[in-house]
Amino acid sequence: MYGLQSQSTLSSKTSLNSLILFEVLIVGFANIPILLIAKALNTSNAKYVIAGYNTMSDFDRKKIDVKRLVSSTKTFLYLLATVPFLAFVVLIITSELMVAVRGYCLVVIVLICWFFIFTKKTGLR
């Protein structure tokens, strides 16, 4: 009887680890488009990619330091793709899925708020 219980526990642990790995891979793959956009972003395509900047008139665009805007946006996108993902991995390993999802969402919200405050303070918007 003990041998069967041990095998059952090992099987459920293995399936739990597989589920955690699957969830980590899904969240990781969801970040690939963000990383690709960050990699492709440059000063020549900024007027098509960066929200807010793409709707400005040419007169208003000349007031913005586009190199600094692109640099800040790239940094933000790299942070947005990596920091919440790492938080998700740590939280899903140390706790349960719902805590990891809530933590991921919270980190994303904090990063977005930080970016809005940063761009406002530095005059990028």
Q: What is the pLDDT of residues 59-93, one digit of tens each?
A: 988 888 889 999 999 999 999 999 999 999 999 99
User: How far does the chain reach from its first CA to its final CA, in angstroms?
Assistant: 68
Residue 55 domain-assigned? yes
pTM attached to this predicted model: 0.79
Name the residue range of residue 40's domain.
20-121
Residue 95: other Cβ atoms inside 10 A: 12
DSSP state of 35: H
At 62 the three-state DSSP class reads: coil
Residue 24 domain-assigned? yes
Residue 112 domain-assigned? yes
| Number of domains making up the chain | 1
Tokens 């761009």 correspond to: 119
Q: What is the pLDDT of residue 56?
A: 87
Residue 12 domain-assigned? no
Task: Determine the angle formed by the axes of helices 97-121 and 66-94, rounding to 10 degrees.
Answer: 160
